[in-house]
Structure 1
């Protein structure tokens, strides 16, 4: 199997299965070649390339049958149709297969026999595959053999854009050492390497890129900065997310940078109910009452997301926002908030206590599902008992003090000459009932 006329590498149509079809003679040595690459079997690979002269730049055509949904007609918009088997084709090379599986010995053998390091018939080169898998030894070998550290794949991404997991840090270091540009944008998303690090909360990657001069406020295709991207991610690691926020802000990240929807990092952190990042951004000067193109404030973002973020205690975001001077919701909209946030009674309590007095309407009870009412019986009974009555003097005193302190409640309450046991009360700490 040599090259086709014109020097193009020969293509092998090969569909790997647990039990390959056809007689052994039809499968060998090409089938063994592919199997050796998958297994990292260097001895077999040496025999196949040196004795059987298998082409080190051979292009494998890998395929598998997958079920795909086929619409019956365009008018159906995919709502009706049928499942049909579709043949999926993927092209790969020996280098890509070995690099993607971390078989450094096999990779070295192929490179010594002049395998082309930048051959990418399947849309990604061997360096892309090595970086995606976090195989630093393979990446080092490819770069030593002059693989292009900025080679773009079919999706417009360079190898550095595929360093998206903690295990890829070694690959990222090698790439920047060999001249990879940290501010190179991906063609499809516009993400730089720092955006990728922010999206996956990779602190050490971000440190590396910032030390290499990465633009901390570079924008992607959605007009997002890395800080904005980070704040829009679900807080899988709250400590790591907060540390990375601090790093970006320390390097000059704009806490008020708005994306194409006019949403800033604070909007996004509130939408993810990430109260620690919300508190951090507010202390760094983020506008607590900023509105996006839909007229939604950070408080509105929390309330919209609260029902599906209950495990993250979204009421803590509401409490922090109000203690930093967030405008309260219009009293007439309280019923709507009750409908969407009834399952998080702490939010209802905090909002209710932020006013001196809100008339409790009879129809509020209809907004709370029966199972939610029973689950939080003590709180909702205390709330609905206030229908037609005035709030207690203690609450009215709290409201007067908070009104006087305004947006500085979070800082000044601790300085008041009152018992410390009252600090939480003044800062709207939920009590489980209202009086």
Structure 2
């Protein structure tokens, strides 16, 4: 008999479950403790918290739209135990009480055991108690995830430490994505977790089911602006431990492709200085520069021109001249990107027809810049710009390191490195 077919000791419509749900929803710890520790018939009782089997009832009144798609629905039940509930809520005293009465720490009628729940909630004391009572540190959930894979928050660091102390494998692949614990830490910016795993022998360049290393996973995660510093620390940690900066995933995308896809100049700079290839192409033929240009209009607050600048100063090929109008159309609202890219050409013929791809409201907001751009339709670039291009061509992909060595004022060094000024000359 499968787990979903077994009869629970406390069905979802029982008075006990109704009281339990009320206590959980109201965060009534005293009532929850009484229900779990005193009211259950035996410590490993199976409790049903949810059940959608009513959808199979011919008498069920469902809207026609739902009925039409009912064949796609899966029957789901949420089964658990008192120990799992106590561990998920972080009730150490309840966990101790139940274990003292012989509760099975590895029981998982709902697909996750109490140790999984403790790690998900970041409840270190509960996790340690369970491990001391011989909970399996590598037990897989129904989704194929070990407890270490569920250490997903900063609060779960203590749980991860306890698991490793009790023999958990730091190399274990989990779930459909086959992530290692290091991948999980990288995806969530958990630098302390990552340091712990690396110090315990985690392979820094292990690949998951998508061919990603931990560095690639970190660079591809959707970080909020206030998390960028944490992302940089994490990636720097991985690189210090020998992560290859230019590994490719199953789509031939490098960490640099992913960093540029999110327009992160600091991360792009870090990767480039560790040997990432600014000229790399993915399976779709896109370069890191193409990735940031695709993103620029969606994330102007990330200052995508700085990422473009980093790439060009590390030898990235510029855009084919005939394709420049497409870039102008997609990046019109971020003129600093247009400026940096335009200044990477010794001479680029400006057409009056370009005005048609710039929305009028955008032109008005950035009028000074676009007037300076279209003024160049009738005149060559200045001698200073041509000298800049000659020097940059000579330095090639070493512009970022050689320009600062020139005996020039900082303002001229910035000029050579394509610092945006707001207008074109």
> Is the structural similarity TM-score above 0.5?
yes
SS in structure 1 of the partner of residue 117 of structure 2: helix
Residue 120 of structure 2 is matched in structure 1 by 132
Asked if the contact 2:191–2:230 (Cα under 8 Å) also holds between the matched residues in 1, the reply is yes
Instruction: Please report how far the alpha carbon of residue 113 of structure 1 lies from its aligned counterpart in structure 2 after TM superposition.
Output: 1.2
Residue 336 of structure 1 is matched in structure 2 by 326
Q: State the Cα deviation string for residues 231-253 of structure 1 (Å, max 9, x = none).
A: 11233322211111111111111
Which of 38, 41, 59 lines up with 2:46 in the alignment?
Answer: 59
Which of 281, 290, 298 lines up with 1:300 in the alignment?
Answer: 290
Q: Hey, which of these two has a bigger chunk of strand by percent?
A: 1
Which of 292, 316, 320 lines up with 2:306 in the alignment?
Answer: 316
Q: Hey, which of these two has a bigger chunk of helix by percent?
A: 2
Which of 133, 138, 148 lines up with 1:150 in the alignment?
Answer: 138
Asked if the contact 2:17–2:47 (Cα under 8 Å) also holds between the matched residues in 1, the reply is no
Residue 3 of structure 1 is matched in structure 2 by none
Pairing 1:97–2:88 present: no
SS in structure 2 of the partner of residue 14 of structure 1: coil
**Aligned equivalents of 2:414 and 2:349: distance in 1?**
25
Which of 11, 17, 20 lines up with 2:9 in the alignment?
Answer: 11
Instruction: Please report how far the alpha carbon of residue 413 of structure 1 lies from its aligned counterpart in structure 2 after TM superposition.
Output: 1.2
- Superposition pairs of residues 203-222 of structure 1, within 5 angstroms: 203-222=191-210
SS in structure 2 of the partner of residue 91 of structure 1: strand
Inter-CA distance 69–279: structure 2 relative to 1 (3 Å threshold): farther
Instruction: Please report how far the alpha carbon of residue 10 of structure 1 lies from its aligned counterpart in structure 2 after TM superposition.
Output: 4.4
**Aligned equivalents of 1:125 and 1:328: distance in 2?**
54
SS in structure 1 of the partner of residue 378 of structure 2: coil
Instruction: Please report how far the alpha carbon of residue 89 of structure 1 lies from its aligned counterpart in structure 2 after TM superposition.
Output: 2.9
**Aligned equivalents of 1:216 and 1:48: distance in 2?**
48
Gaps of 5+ in 2: 1-5, 56-61
Instruction: Please report how far the alpha carbon of residue 388 of structure 1 lies from its aligned counterpart in structure 2 after TM superposition.
Output: 2.7
List 4+ stretches of structure 1 deviating above 6 A. Answer: 64-69, 84-87
**Aligned equivalents of 2:176 and 2:63: distance in 1?**
25
Pairing 1:386–2:386 present: no
**Aligned equivalents of 1:168 and 1:346: distance in 2?**
42
Report the more deviating stretch, 244-253 or 319-328.
Answer: 244-253
Asked if the contact 2:105–2:133 (Cα under 8 Å) also holds between the matched residues in 1, the reply is yes
Residue 187 of structure 1 is matched in structure 2 by 175
**Aligned equivalents of 2:7 and 2:51: distance in 1?**
22
Pairing 1:232–2:223 present: no
Asked if the contact 2:47–2:79 (Cα under 8 Å) also holds between the matched residues in 1, the reply is yes
**Aligned equivalents of 1:69 and 1:428: distance in 2?**
61
Give the TM-score normalised by the residue count of structure 1: 0.88
Instruction: Please report how far the alpha carbon of residue 135 of structure 1 lies from its aligned counterpart in structure 2 after TM superposition.
Output: 0.4
Say what the alpha-carbon RMSD is for the aligned residues: 2.4
**Aligned equivalents of 2:393 and 2:100: distance in 1?**
75
Pairing 1:48–2:39 present: yes
Instruction: Please report how far the alpha carbon of residue 69 of structure 1 lies from its aligned counterpart in structure 2 after TM superposition.
Output: 10
Residue 234 of structure 2 is matched in structure 1 by 244
SS in structure 2 of the partner of residue 355 of structure 1: coil
**Aligned equivalents of 2:420 and 2:119: distance in 1?**
48
Pairing 1:375–2:373 present: no
Residue 97 of structure 2 is matched in structure 1 by 109
SS in structure 2 of the partner of residue 119 of structure 1: coil
Aligned residues: 405
Instruction: Please report how far the alpha carbon of residue 36 of structure 1 lies from its aligned counterpart in structure 2 after TM superposition.
Output: 6.2
Instruction: Please report how far the alpha carbon of residue 418 of structure 1 lies from its aligned counterpart in structure 2 after TM superposition.
Output: 2.3
Instruction: Please report how far the alpha carbon of residue 359 of structure 1 lies from its aligned counterpart in structure 2 after TM superposition.
Output: 0.7
SS in structure 1 of the partner of residue 222 of structure 2: coil
Instruction: Please report how far the alpha carbon of residue 221 of structure 1 lies from its aligned counterpart in structure 2 after TM superposition.
Output: 0.5
Instruction: Please report how far the alpha carbon of residue 70 of structure 1 lies from its aligned counterpart in structure 2 after TM superposition.
Output: 4.9
Residue 327 of structure 1 is matched in structure 2 by 317
Pairing 1:353–2:347 present: no
Instruction: Please report how far the alpha carbon of residue 274 of structure 1 lies from its aligned counterpart in structure 2 after TM superposition.
Output: 1.2
**Aligned equivalents of 1:378 and 1:10: distance in 2?**
72
SS in structure 1 of the partner of residue 79 of structure 2: strand
